[in-house]
Structure 1
């Protein structure tokens, strides 16, 4: 059975999983979920994810939600194909991948997500962005990027001199952020920019 990924292509969380599936050279079917029509709040979808969020991955007899859990599953299940995103043959490197994957989830994402939501999502639904929220998030993001600049001055990628799930998890949010007026936060940090 081909994997089924339920989500919205412009969703950062869905894009995170799509990127992982491509890196692992895994065939999948993207099943669009229309969030504007509240398809994610319908009983059929809630049976897959009771929180009503995208993405959801169906793989034979298992259904998973939460994008980072899905990418970890895909990286482990298909560890022999595509890029080794979890460094499964080196315990220390695998541990560093987990550390920097957590950093993305606990530090980077909470700083960047509100900026993207305020700048891109609110105007789509006719709401005004809250500059106070964006300013506070930009301050948090500066601090995170300062840590990244230091880390990346000694390593090509976050977990070491190898590309991993830790780096991949950053790409969708960073892609959107780079289209905002504050992309200089990345450009002004040469190691972050090179990464």
Structure 2
């Protein structure tokens, strides 16, 4: 009789633990989608094709997770058909081309982020971005260029896509790319 009671007690404890784990898992999913936004669906609805992130060309990582933060290295404007947007704003490239380049860079960053975390619905907040614009010294619309990236983050994630940022003009960027952006993202545990 004592064995039966002990077995029943242990079974109840195990079941309660399983129910608690399931509740925690469900709560995390609810937190991730509390704003009703499905980032993966939004990407599909916007007709965005994420790309296969290429391997770094040196001794660094495209993304590094530390706790619930993901730090993404500087990415460039990778075109969906291949290649990158090359050139200098105010020195051959027009503002609209720079905005498109920043959007391509955002898609490249989202591609690396998804490769790192598996599902973009795990994103809690886009925390910060640093946008660098390859610009002629006379060009002064750096922030408008980086709006191409910022607007994309809000299109995909809604309010949690809004972020702190810097938009900086550079005399050159690697391989003469038009834009380079890095970002920090907070994810649900």
The bucket for the TM-score relative to the shorter chain is under 0.3
Structure with the higher fraction of residues in helix conformation: 1
Point out which structure has higher relative CO (alpha carbons under 8 A, 6+ apart): 2
TM-score, normalization: structure 2? 0.25
TM-score, normalization: structure 1? 0.25
Structure with the higher fraction of residues in strand conformation: 2
Larger radius of gyration: 2
